[in-house]
Every structure is written in structure tokens, then in C-alpha cells.
Amino acid sequence: MKHFDVIVVGGGHAGTEAAHAAARMGARTALVTLRAAAIGVMSCNPAIGGLGKGHLVREIDALDGVMGQAADRAGIQFRLLNRKKGPAVQGPRAQADRTLYCRAVQAMLSAQPNLTIIEGEATDFIVNAGRIGGVILGDGAQITAEAVILTSGTFLRGLIHIGDRRSEGGRMGDRPSVPLAKRIEAMGLPLGRLKTGTPPRLDGRTINWDILESQPGDDDPVMFSFVNSAPFVRQVSCGITHTNERTHDIIRENLSRSAMYGGYIEGVGPRYCPSIEDKIVRFADKTSHQVFLEPEGLDDPTVYPNGISTSLPEDVQADYVRSIRGLENVRILQPGYAIEYDFVDPRALRPTLELRDRPGLYLAGQINGTTGYEEAGAQGLVAGVNAALSARGAEPVIFSRRTSYIGVMIDDLVTRGVSEPYRMFTSRAEFRLSLRADNADQRLTGIGRALGCVSDQRADLFAQKMSALEAGRSLLDSAQFTPKEAMARGIRVNQDGMRRSAFALLSFPDVRFAQLRDAAPELAAIAPEIAEQLARDALYANYIERQNDEAQAIERDENWAIPDGFDFAALQGLSNELRGKLARSQPQTLAQAGRVDGITPAALTLILAKLRQQQRARSA
Amino acid sequence: MDTIFALASARGKAGVSVIRLSGSGAWAAVRSLAGSLPEPRVAGLRKLWLADDVLDEAVVICFAAGASFTGEEVAELHVHGAVATVSAVLRALGALPGLRLAEPGEFTRRALEQGRLDLAQVEGLADLIEAETEAQRKQALRVLSGALGRVVDGWRADLVRAAALLEATIDFADEDVPVDVVPEVLALIDGVATSLRDEMRRLGAAERVREGFEVAILGRPNAGKSTLLNALAGREAAITSDIAGTTRDVIEVRMDLGGLAVTVLDTAGLREAQDMIEGIGIARALDRARAADLRVFLLDDEDVPLIAPEGDDLIVQGKADLGGGVGLAVSGKTGEGIDRLVAEITRILSARAAGAGVMTRERHRFALTRAVEAMESARSEVLKGADRVELAAEGLRSAIRALEMLVGRVDVEHLLDEIFASFCIGK
């Protein structure tokens, strides 16, 4: 019988990140997957990052994870979204070559010490006195471990719909993992049902690119990883086309044949990523919708038409796709489909992603009701780090909303649960101005180093950057200008006689570093990228200062721990509904309780009063 | 939980005093004093016994657990208000096993712990208990019934909408959201800002209803201010004599004028001070008079007011019994014109009270001010253009947060401390 510290089941984005993180932490780690060749496959659109999502990738990278570096290696078109808006809401995004991405992920995994990849199907868990202690494979082999991380995506009662045709499976072409799914179902975990969809895949050689608008990448591509500075491979453009009235007519006429509108689907789909049927029904007055034609790879003719996911029958798909400009003669390589699946209500999880009622078992990724590679990867990392910590008997690490998008996501999931597939947005982060993609390393690399998941090499790079930032900051602080001197450089400030530092002036709109450098030549010692970073810090410095009170209030509430087994059901005076919600999400701090959906001030007061009472009772 | 008791009505001599008990032993305790209990929620007359002595004859009301103010078993003893009687009953209760005197705010805390009140209700309740008059009661009831919550929810909804519009341009930059959201965002911000500013104006009046209005009587020494005050109050509150300068300090008399709590201030006579003590009295009189909500100038025929009357201030002819003047004339001595003066003061103050909004506390003012500032910042960032949109969104977010603070959604900890600290025993 083999023994590991941590077993990860599943080789998707959550699984790879979890296994790599656990191994980085020094845990002897096994990754169990059906096909090693499918590790790191992008099963939906061929892109990484975006708004909120790009932030997550940066944070994964700051903790020395896989996704950022793999995406840089595979990136064939880089765009910084919201480039014209402030840095807090800029999100790096890239089209990725599917093959290169898989290859990069697999290369990183095989280069990682402590990590063993096992091909096989996990069919059951080994349970010791209520604690999950390993898995049993299809061939009967048993692997024991201190902790098991399950990252099985959409395999729980996964059902694929193409029109009225249905087949079981977690992903097109993959057989469903029935025994383990049955085992999970038997655990009696709270489950919900969601759906998502994909568009048909097109043969790029049959698209009339010449008549279509094209969208190139940025002139100065921004990488995901803090250790990279330029793309690795040739860059390409995406195409843009639009649906039209005829497209909409075809879809409308065939709505009843769509799995969604034919009543075949019970799962809830994401509002931010509607199928083309949804778009046409819900926004009936729109006569056209944008479609991005995204190449899936440099040597792959497959094109992913982003914006027209569907569950219509194949013949209708062909009809409506060919009604779109530039796609008149297109060949469909694989039909679009909708998939519905069960997820585990993430309120059953601790903030470490361990199941509250099944110690030793961690869940990460789509099984927790999220969508997206980035959300999955970030959860994998959290589960991997915590499983490794638990395996060595160390205290868990909980990421706070105050310091990371990872913390925002985990907190949202475990306290509020999900009602549609959960996707990251920048608006979910109340400390958005501090939680920027550009400073993810400043926020997290130090923490990661202390935890033990950041390599020496990255730690050195980070230390160099930090000392350059500190030196630059002190130069900016010591360069002082009177209002007159500032005016002389074209910087308009109040003529109040107050001297202002170069750092303070950088926070003014329209003030550029170059202006200050001209006025104070010693600032020329600051390298351009360091100056840029300091300018981003300066822009928000005043706002962040003002948010400190709020951050402290949250910290105070975070310090009000709600003990395990706190009996919410016994709280007199709460509505049954609220009692149920609290009992389900079992908030672990007063701060989390405050974010439970529908919570009222009175309810919070009640909890606090109860906590105080218990505290008094203990101290008495 | 143990059973607590305390005097729930004001301390001191009164017609009736109410002693309240709460906890699982409340009924048993009363039964042991009264022999038997009336039906719940029905008042019953009972003799309260201590051994063979009758302590008092009291009205007893019982409330069952789940249907009482604290949510626990509750009993109320309405006893005769003599200090000695109340002390005797409290002593008798204290001697019973399992009963103890309540700590400050403990009844309310229990109500809170039993989920009988939400936070806004607790504050409203505090005011209700303090309400001495009808207008205060009405306002406190408005807060209790959730008027504050509804108003804030309305503003919050508008700001959330504005924020959502901005967020859509941020988080969905890559998608089809071409509509220019700026006009609607500005309209929403402006609408809420206008309401907030109106509410802040009403806030001053609301605070007055809660705390009571102040009316200062001003006039030269011996103009008859003290006599007037006594006539208004119907009792000898200020010393009156014929020697000028008798009132050397500010004398306050709290009274109910047409349903409003009013404190009438009798000030030192306004003249050149003859000695230091009188000088201090005059300076203090002037300060208080300026700060008062309304000034009544009591003038002799040829007098000119020493500080300028403003707004609704009243100028009355004093000592009307000594020879008629023109306009409003009163005589403290004969009572002539007093009714008219009271009517006039009531009319003015009632008009101000009518403008009172639903916000009554300093905390509310603070939150409103923060919200307005944040909205102004958001507005100016919106106008600066799309490259500052995250800063505009930040302004809206902190405005929303400030409003939520108003209804107690956050910072529960602070709020609780404040609430519990402002409660006295037995309420």
C-alpha cells in the first residue's frame, strides 16, 4: 500500500494547482487522474485572465503557482483589460494555445519534486474513524494519505445536452466517473444543480477572415507572472463578428428544440455568460450580439466563437452559425452543448476548503459551484497549501478579504454559498483599490514565503524588487516641493505654503513621474518599472488610508471567533430562514456571519450577545 | 437565566411607580408576595404581603414568556409612588431566592438576546422611555416602526443602482455595454444627495423633539422674568423679589407646552453688572440665550433688547398689570396674557417640530455627513471621466456603507456599547 501526505484527485486547473502547491510545501503528493495526457486541458474557452480573474492569476503567481507561468508560455494574444481605467481595475488577459498550455502545465508538474502522477480512477475513499484517509483506485489499489483533495469538476451527475439529446459525462469525450460520484452522493452533502454551456467549435480554415474586423493584442503585452516580461511565442489576432436578425430568427424559431427552453434542463446558469438563446429571449430588442472568434492555437485550426454558447440541436447550430457574417461556409468541428451538474454547497466547507463534516477531505474548483479556470486554480492552491499544513499538523492558513481576491472568493463561497456559477468580479472586493493585480506580489509573496510555498528563486527576485521599491519610495518621500516649485513644473496645487513630497504629488491626477524627475534629478535613480509601481501605489494612497478604519472594523469582527458547534438553531428570536442559513454556512467569525445573505443587524447583535455571554460564562 | 427586577419608572416621588421583573422566576416571585396572580395581560389588584405585613396594594400584570417585552416571563407591579413603599417592595423582592436587581440596560439586553428588538428598535425604545411628552412619543414610535429603516433602504437602493451602473462599465468592459451610464448615475446621486441634505436639516428639529426645546426669557433686571416663569410653570421655581438682580444664575424649568418638551430659561437681568458675581451671571445668561431655540424678550416701555432678536423671537410687554402696552403684553403677577404667550410659543415650536425627520441621534448626523461627503467625492470623480471610474465607485461604496451604518448593519460592536451605556437600570 502506498502512502502520501496529500492525494489530489483530478488533473484540471484546481487539481494541478493543488498538487503543485502541496508539493511546493514539501508534502509528498500524489495526483490521481484518468489520463495524464489530459492534465491542464482547457475545456472551455482558450483564454486565461480578465477582470477579477486576472487578479486571481496574479495572486496564484505571487504564491509561486502554476497558472500564471503556464499562461505566459502559452499566450498568443495579450490584452490588459480596462487599460484606460485605473490600475485597480485593470485585468491581464491572454488567449492561450491549448496545446502549449497543457504542455507548460505538465512540464511544471513533472519538474516539481515531491509530486507523483498516478493514472487511474479513484473509485472510493478510505475512511478511518470518520476521517478521510486515502482513496481506492479502480484496480483495487489503496493509497493512503493524511488529506485528500477532490477536484472533480462537473462529474457529479454530469449531463450533457445537445438539443433533446442527452448523454452522461463531465466533459465532452470524457467518460463519467460513476463510482466516486455515487460515493459522494451517499455522503449526504448538501447539493445544488448548475448548468453551463459551450459554443460550437469552428474550423478556422473555413472562416472568411478577410471581411471580418480583427482584434490584435496590446503593443506592449503585459504578462501574468511576476517573473516574466515578454511573450514566449508568436502573437496572433482574434476576429470579431456579429449575429444578425436572421440569426435571431433561426434561433427563435427553434427555441423549443433547445435543451434549455425545451424544458430539459433544471440547473441554474450564469447570468453573466448567457447562452445565445438566453440573449435573444431576454434582450429581445437587441438586433445584434458581438462574437469573438478566438483561435485555439498556433498550429490548430480550431476557433472558439465566444458569445454564442448553445444547447440547440446540431442542425440548428449549423444554420444559425452560417447566418453570421464571415461564417457563411464554416465547418463545425464539434457542436456546442450545455452541461448540467451537481455541486456541493460550499457553505459545507471551512475557509481551508476542508469539508466541515468530513475531516481530511478538501474540495476545490467547479465542484464548489464556481466557474472558470482562475477560480478553480485559486481554490486548488488554497486547498493544497492547507492540506499540506494539516498533514504536518500545522495551523491552517486563512486568506482574508482584506488582502486578496483569493480571500474574497473563499469567504464569499463558504459564507454566502452560490446561486449561480460563481465567477470573480473586481466589484466583489470591497478593498479593490488595495487588491490590485499589479501589487499581488507585495500582498502575498511574503506570506507564501513564510508558509513555505514560494521557491528561493522567486523569493530572491521578490526581495530585490521590494528593496528597489523601498529605496524608490524613500527618494520620493524626501524630494519635497513648495507649492511654488510645483507650479513652476506645471503641477497645480493649493498655494497653501505646504511642502509636498514627490510621492504625495504623484497621487494628483495628471502628474507624471517624468515631471518630478525633471524637478528632482536624484529621482532618475529609480528604474522605470519601479517608478510605475510607485505611481500606482501613490494614486490610491489617500483612499487606502481612509479605508483603514473599515479594514480594522473587519479585523475586529474577524477576531470574534464563533466556536465550532455554535448552535445557531438555538438562537431565540431569529427567523427560521435565517437560522437555517447560519446553520448551513456555520460562519467561523462574526465578520463572516455579517456577510451571510439576508443577515440583519439584530441577528448579528444576537450572535454577538451570545458570544459575549459565553465569554462571560467562561471567565466567570 | 436568573430573574431580575428593578424600578422601571422614574425614581422619586410619583403617583405610581412600576417595578418590573423578568426571568423564569418572575411569576413565582410575585405569587409569593401577592398570593395569587391575575390572568396574563390582565391587570389585577393585589395586596403585597411580607410575612404578616401588607407592603402595599398594587396593580399586578403578568406577561407570558414569548409574549413579553424581554421575551421572558415578565411581571409588573404598579405600586404607590411613595419612596418608602417602593424601597420596601424592592427589598422584599431582593430577599427572594434567585432574584437580583437588574444591571443597567439588562432588560433591553435580554430583549435583544431573545430577538425581541432590532437595533433601530432598541434605540427608538430608549427614546420612548425617555419621552416625557406626546411629541417625543410619536417620534420614538416612528423609529420603532422602522421608518428609519425604510427611508435608508430607499436611499441605499438608489445608490446601489448607481454603483451597479459604474461597476458594469468596469467588470464588463470587454462586453457589449456601450450605453453611457453617466447621466443616470449623476441623476441618482443628485436625487439621494438632495434627500440627505433635507434630512440633515430636519435632523436639528428632530433632536429638539427628543431633547426638548429651550426658550430663554430675557429682559432688564426686575422686568418680571422670574414672575413670568413662575406663572408659566405654575410653581415657585425662581426666587422673585423686588430687588433688581435677584436671579444671579440661569434657572431652568422643564415643562410641557402643547405636547412639546420645553425648558424655559430664566436669565439674569441684562444690564451693566454691579459686581463680579452678577457679571458672570449676565455673561452666562447671554450665552445660553443665544444658544436657545427661541427668545422671549420682556421689555418695559422704553427698553431696547440688548441682543438682537432673530427669526421668530417674541417681544412682549412686561408688567401689563402696571399699565397697558401695545402688542403682546403679559403680567406674571395677574396672569394676564400668559395663555396667549404660551399659545404663541407653542405655535412656533410646533411648526419646527413638524419638520422633524426620522433621524434623531448624533450617530445619524455623523453617518449622513459621511454619506454626503462620499457622494460629493463620487460625483466629482464621475465628472473627471472614465479613467477615474474606480474612484467614483469607491465614493459610492463608502456612501452606501455610511447609510448601512445608520441602520446598524456594520460596526455592531461599537453600537452595542453605545446603546448599553446609555441605558439606566430597569428600562
Interface probe with B: pick from A45, A56, A82, A426, most Cβ of B within 10 Å: A82
Top-ranked range on mean pLDDT: pick from A21-25, A196-200, B201-205: A21-25
User: B246 among the known binding-site residues?
Assistant: yes
B346 annotated to a ligand binding site = no
ipTM confidence: 0.82
A572 is a domain residue: yes
Considering A337, A368, A402, which residue would you say is the last residue of a domain? A337
For A302-358, write each residue's pLDDT tens digit.
999 999 999 999 999 999 999 999 999 999 999 999 999 999 999 999 999 999 999
**A574 CA: distance to closest CA in chain B (Å):** 6
- Is A225 a domain residue? yes
Q: Between B362 and A425, name the one with better pLDDT.
A: A425
> Could you tell me if A90 lies within 8 Å of chain B, comparing CB atoms?
no
Cα A9 to Cα A14: distance, rounded to the nearest angstrom: 10
CATH number for domain B212-354, candidates 3.40.50.300, 3.40.710.10, 1.10.3720.10, 2.40.10.330 = 3.40.50.300
Of A305, A297, A312, A292, which is closest to residue A331 (Cα–Cα)?
Answer: A305
Question: Are B390 and A433 in contact (CB < 8 Å)?
Answer: yes
In chain B, CATH 3.30.1360.120 covers 3-116
Shortest distance, CA A276 to any CA of chain B (angstroms): 14
Residue in B167, B389, B391 closest to A543 by CB = B391
Share of residues in chain A with pLDDT > 70 (%): 95
B115 vs A573: CB contact, 8 Å cut-off? yes
Q: What count of Cα atoms within 13 Å lies in the side-chain half-sphere of residue A604?
A: 26
Cβ contact, residue pair A602, B390, below 8 Å? no
Q: What is the pLDDT of residues A266-308, one digit of tens each?
A: 777 777 678 898 888 888 888 899 999 999 999 999 999 999 9
Nearest CA among A26, A32, A41 for reference residue A106: A41
**Residue A538 backbone dihedrals phi, psi, to 5 degrees:** -65, -40
CATH of residue A313's domain is 2.40.30.260
What b-and-e string marks burial along B306-334, b requiring 16 or more CB atoms within 10 Å of the CB?
beeeeeebbbbbbbbbeeebeeebbbbbe
Contact A82 B167 (CB under 8 A): no
Q: Are A320 and A332 in contact (CB under 8 A)?
A: no
CB atoms B119 and A86 under 8 Å: no
Which of the residue ranges A33-42, A49-58, A200-209, A510-519 would you say has the lowest mean pLDDT? Answer: A510-519
- Inform me whether the C-beta atom of residue B158 falls under 8 Å from chain A C-beta atoms: no
Q: Which residues of A touch B172 (CB under 8 A)?
A: 51, 272
Parallel, antiparallel or unpaired: strands B314-317 and B294-299: parallel
Of B167, B391, B409, the CB nearest to A86: B391
Question: Is A81 an interface residue toward B (CB < 8 Å)?
Answer: yes
- Verify whether the Cβ–Cβ distance A433 to B394 is below 8 Å: yes
CA A476 to chain centre: 35
pLDDT confidence of residue B425? 29
CB contact under 8 A, A602 and B112: yes
Residue B319 near chain A (CB below 8 Å): no
Measure CB to CB from residue B116 to each of A50, A573, A608 and give the nearest one: A573
Question: Which among B174, B370, B404, B416 is the top mutation candidate for probing chain A, defined by the most A β-carbons within 10 Å of its own β-carbon?
Answer: B174
**Which residues in chain B are classed under CATH 3.40.50.300?**
212-354
Return the pLDDT at B123.
59
What is the 3-class SS of A197-233, one letter each residue?
EECCEEEHHHCCHHHCEEECCCCCCCCCCCCCCCCCC
Contact A608 B416 (CB under 8 A): yes
A515 or B172, which is more confident?
A515
Cβ pair A573:B389 closer than 8 A: no
CB-count burial class (<10 Å; 0-12, 13-18, 19+) for B360: buried
Res B413: pLDDT: 41
Q: Binning pLDDT at 50, 70 and 90, where does residue A535 land? A: very high
Partner residue facing B413 (CB), from A85, A556, A613 = A556
Question: Is A272 marked within a binding site?
Answer: yes
Is B391's Cβ below 8 Å from some Cβ in A?
A: yes
Write out chain B's pLDDT in tens, 427 residues: 678 988 887 665 567 889 999 999 999 999 999 999 999 999 999 999 988 888 899 999 999 998 898 889 999 999 987 777 887 888 888 888 878 877 656 787 677 666 666 656 665 555 554 544 555 556 555 555 566 777 888 888 888 888 888 888 888 776 665 568 899 899 999 999 999 888 877 777 776 776 778 888 888 777 777 777 777 776 555 555 555 555 556 677 777 776 777 888 877 665 555 666 666 667 777 777 887 888 888 877 666 666 777 777 888 877 666 554 456 777 777 777 878 888 888 888 887 777 666 655 656 776 788 899 999 999 999 998 888 899 999 999 889 888 876 765 533 344 344 444 443 323 3
- B393 lies within 8 A of chain A by CB: yes
Nearest CA in chain B to A307: B175
User: Which ranges in chain B are annotated with CATH 1.20.120.430?
Assistant: 143-209+361-421
Partner B contacted by A89 (CB < 8 A): yes
**Are the C-beta atoms of A241 and A291 separated by less than 8 Å?**
yes
User: Bigger pLDDT: B427 or A506?
Assistant: A506
Fold of B3-116: Gyrase A; domain 2 (3.30.1360)
Q: Is the pLDDT of residue A173 over 70?
A: no
Q: What is the DSSP letter of A370?
A: B
In a domain, A39, yes or no: no
* Chain B neighbors of A238, CB-CB under 8 A: none
Which tops the pLDDT comparison, A535 or B358?
A535
* Range A476-499 average pLDDT: 86
Q: Give the number of beta-carbon pairs within 8 Å between A and B.
A: 113
The span from the CA of A353 to the CA of A14, in Å, is 12
* pLDDT exceeds 90 at position A213: yes
Residue A510 pLDDT grade (very low, low, confident, very high; cuts 50, 70, 90):
confident
CATH architecture of B143-209+361-421: Up-down Bundle (1.20)
Total domains, chain A: 2
Please tell me the predicted confidence (pLDDT) of residue B416.
42
Q: Which domain holds residue A290?
A: 201-337
Residue whose C-alpha is closest to residue B257's, from B348, B192, B171, B360: B348
Spatial CB neighbours of B33, under 8 Å, sequence gap ≥ 6? B48, B49, B50, B55, B89, B92, B93
Determine, yes or no, domain membership for A81: no
A287 close contact with B: CB closer than 8 A:
no
Single residue among A277, A303, A337 that ends a domain in this structure = A337
A301: amino acid identity, one letter: P
Q: What pLDDT sits at residue B427?
A: 31
Chain A contact for B170, CB < 8 A? Answer: yes
Q: Count of alpha carbons within 13 Å of B410, Cβ hemisphere only?
A: 20
Is A594 contained in some domain? yes
B115 is in an annotated binding site: no
Last residue of a domain, one of A318, A337, A356: A337
Instruction: Look at residue B42 in the predicted model and tell me its pLDDT.
Output: 93
- The values of phi and psi at residue A118, to 5°, are -115, 120
